[in-house]
Structure 1
Amino acid sequence: MQKAALNYSRIFVGVLFIFSGLIKANDPLGFGYKLQEYFDVFHMPWLSPFATGIAIFLCILEIVLGALLLFGFWSRKVTAGLLGIIIFFTFLTFVSAAFKVVTSCGCFGDAIPLTPWQSFSKDLVLLVLIIYLFINRDKIHAVTDNQGKQRLGVIGVTALSLIFSIYTYTYLPVLDFLPYKVGQSLPEAMRIPDGAQPDEYVITYKLHHKVTGEDKEMSDKDYLKTEIWKDNNWEIVGEPTQKLIKKGYEAKIKDLMISDASSTDYTKELLENPYYNLVIVAYYLKDSNEQAIQEMNAIAAQAVKEFNIRTVLLTSSSAQDADQFSKENKLTAEVFYADAVPLKSMVRSNPGLMLMKNGVVINKWSHAGLPSYEALKTKYFEQ
């Protein structure tokens, strides 16, 4: 019975750590963005420039520790490492949940979004299992006692994890769980269906009786139902508070608004273009790879000349910076503006390139994996 419980705990924890590490390694930039949120919350902005590197390290650490636990190698060190990590993350998710500082922990990336309380509950279960494994660490048997094979195993797992993380960082996630994935209709993802239930809120009033001095709180429904508002002796004190009681329908894309330098909304026009159009995404121009921008600009110039294909550049940089950047790089693309959050979700690259048609994402590329103009022409424009 004890052996079965130990094996179950070992397999469950090991597989979960590998799965969690792989999901985040599939999108290390996205995990890095989440770490930046935590750095801001804990007043450590100096760590933000290293967020992606830290993200890749944590992904590899999770995968390696999970694999070593399954192999049974170095059980004392591995269970101690797992215990230290899970205590840290349990504390982190509790702070997120209790103080509502980060709305999603990013434990499983964008593949399985968890609320802070769900994440905290998951970490509590893992904490119990890992404590059990740590107590019984000497009863965990390795699949082989050969030290050479053990070293080779850890080197192999570490190398594969590192290669995978660097590949997805360089050439975009292998699996895209974001709403801007290839094949997605952006107008459809932004639409709220007819009859969809909106969010439900309860509004609470603080009331004070002018004569008796009595104070009480009352919901907006009770306020109207009891008709207490007809009694002039009761007055509302302070601002009413609003609390979400039931989450309604939420569009997959709810925060995208594209405008020009004059704040004119171009979202509908750009997203519903019935023809092929190229979208260069460069959320921070000052950090963009300028050589890649020039390569994209060359593609745009040829595309508009030969097929009259429209190219736009989306950025969250200021209009002044964008205007200067456009002049310095002699951009063919029109420049429009959007918030950095949706732009970071469009393409995990700065800059990145999207090919769209009639609002549908046909394909997208990181700046390291740009196709040639001839490849685009042959595969898409001439079809």
Structure 2
Amino acid sequence: MRILVSISRILVGVLFIISGLIKLNDPLGFSYKLQEYFSVDVLNIPFLEPYALIISVLVVVFEVVLGVFLIIGYKPKFTVWSLLGMIVFFTFLTFYSAYFDKVKDCGCFGDALKLTPWESFTKDVILLILILILFIGSKHIKPVFSSLQTTILALLSFIFSFWLGYHVLMHLPVIDFRAYKIGNNILEGMSTPENAPKPIVEYYWKFKVNGEEKIITTDGSYPDVDGDYVDVDSKVIDEGYKPPVVDFSIENSEGDNLTEQFLSEDNLIIVVSYSLEHIEKSGAEKLKAMSDEAIKKGYKVIGLTASGEETKQQIKKTYGLNFDFYLCDEKALKTVVRSNPGILELDRGTVKQKVHWNDIDELKL
């Protein structure tokens, strides 16, 4: 049991720390995933959606801290009970998501590693078994260092976790795992290679043959059967290749798609605000000076938002902005940059710079 506890202690502790740090690197992204879980279509607890960000920060900080506690042997009973409570809840959540096909990606490892709902559930079941071993053999979890050293390390893990969460919210994620990171080309990210794997879909045709129902499976072609057609269902067996950039487009108020036109510009500044209704006032106040300087130096400046025309005109008038806002999907804009507003510099579709509105002065024009 001592050996099993030691192995489980290392595996669970390291996994909780890694998983927590990845999400703590992008708590805003994890809060979007929590909002998806809280929505009417999933858990039907929409009253928690406004608190998704604070919940995401507290959950991931607790996740990192518990991993550290387990490794160093700080307060083993509290740690093991907390780990058990968390994994039971997350196992339920991933099973519910997988069984009812509600959320396609659990967000366990943020954008760094995408897991299917069933993969997430399997991971949680394995963790549950390991944590049950720790629960049964908790007496074998001993502190690695002296009492004072262990307490100091535990306190430092709290301080570091909260500092990291605050830092990335006030700036941008330390590591960008998304398709819009600096150096990536958005146009290339939207394209599908010629030899890319195609989706595999099975079709289940229901016929009535000699008074009995019969189901025939094909790849989509109509089956050659002597009977009366009743119904057809389909199931995606393999989704095939999915481009890393999806739902990104630039449209004007008339619905014209201007994506390729703007992504072919040599020097383009894009101001991203997924919702102008919720734009940070301090950030909006910095946009005029930045855009005036950019235009003076030969840049094309545009804005991207999911807000309506009336709101766009109101924001332009309120802050004296001299560039136009175009339409883009809200979810895509939340993925582009974790800031409202956020600023990108593009050169023929390649992301050259990306800054939080707090760091707008660091934008090099």
- TM-score where L is the length of structure 1: 0.91
Which residue does 1:380 correspond to in 2?
none
Consecutive unaligned residues in structure 2, runs of 5 or more:
none
User: Which stretch has the larger CA shift, 290-299 or 257-266?
Assistant: 290-299
Q: What does 1:276-291 align with in structure 2 at a 5 Å threshold?
A: 276-291=267-282
Which residue does 1:237 correspond to in 2?
230
Kindly tell me: are residues 329 and 98 of structure 1, through their superposed partners in 2, closer, same or farther at Cα, counting changes over 3 Å? same
> Does structure 2 retain, via aligned residues, the 8 Å contact 1:297–1:333?
no
Percent identical: 35
Deviations 1:12-65 (A, max 9, x none): 111111111100000000000000011011111111111111111111101111
SS in 2 for 1:87: helix
> Does structure 1 retain, via aligned residues, the 8 Å contact 2:185–2:349?
yes
SS in 1 for 2:127: helix
Kindly tell me: are residues 221 and 118 of structure 1, through their superposed partners in 2, closer, same or farther at Cα, counting changes over 3 Å? closer
1:357 equivalent among 332, 347, 352 = 347
Which residue does 2:212 correspond to in 1?
214
- TM-score where L is the length of structure 2: 0.95
> Does structure 1 retain, via aligned residues, the 8 Å contact 2:200–2:238?
yes
Say yes or no: does 1:65 pair with 2:63: no
Deviations 1:100-128 (A, max 9, x none): 11100011111011111111111111100
Counterpart of 2:306 in structure 1: which amino acid? S
Cα separation, 1, equivalents of 2:140 and 2:178: 42
4+ runs deviating over 6 angstroms: none
Which residue does 1:141 correspond to in 2?
142
Q: What does 1:263-282 align with in structure 2 at a 5 Å threshold?
A: 263-273=255-265, 275-282=266-273
Consecutive unaligned residues in structure 1, runs of 5 or more:
378-383
Which residue does 1:9 correspond to in 2?
8
Cα separation, 2, equivalents of 1:222 and 1:145: 67
Kindly tell me: are residues 139 and 363 of structure 1, through their superposed partners in 2, closer, same or farther at Cα, counting changes over 3 Å? same
Counterpart of 1:269 in structure 2: which amino acid? Q
Cα separation, 2, equivalents of 1:222 and 1:38: 34
Kindly tell me: are residues 166 and 223 of structure 1, through their superposed partners in 2, closer, same or farther at Cα, counting changes over 3 Å? closer
Cα separation, 2, equivalents of 1:280 and 1:321: 15
Q: What does 1:1-383 align with in structure 2 at a 5 Å threshold?
A: 2-40=1-39, 41-146=42-147, 148-209=148-209, 212-220=210-218, 224=222, 227-228=224-225, 231=226, 234-238=227-231, 240-273=232-265, 275-304=266-295, 306-371=296-361, 376-377=364-365
1:308, CA displacement in angstroms?
2.7
Counterpart of 2:230 in structure 1: which amino acid? V
SS in 1 for 2:143: coil
> Does structure 1 retain, via aligned residues, the 8 Å contact 2:274–2:307?
yes
Cα separation, 1, equivalents of 2:34 and 2:97: 12
> Does structure 2 retain, via aligned residues, the 8 Å contact 1:104–1:114?
yes
Counterpart of 2:176 in structure 1: which amino acid? D
1:248, CA displacement in angstroms?
1.3
Cα separation, 2, equivalents of 1:64 and 1:214: 61
CA RMSD in angstroms, aligned pairs only: 1.6
Deviations 1:243-295 (A, max 9, x none): 1122211111122122111111011111121x211100000111101331231
Cα separation, 2, equivalents of 1:268 and 1:45: 37
1:221, CA displacement in angstroms?
5.0
1:145, CA displacement in angstroms?
4.6
> Does structure 1 retain, via aligned residues, the 8 Å contact 2:74–2:151?
no
> Does structure 2 retain, via aligned residues, the 8 Å contact 1:281–1:353?
yes
> Does structure 1 retain, via aligned residues, the 8 Å contact 2:248–2:329?
yes
Counterpart of 1:77 in structure 2: which amino acid? F
Counterpart of 1:208 in structure 2: which amino acid? K
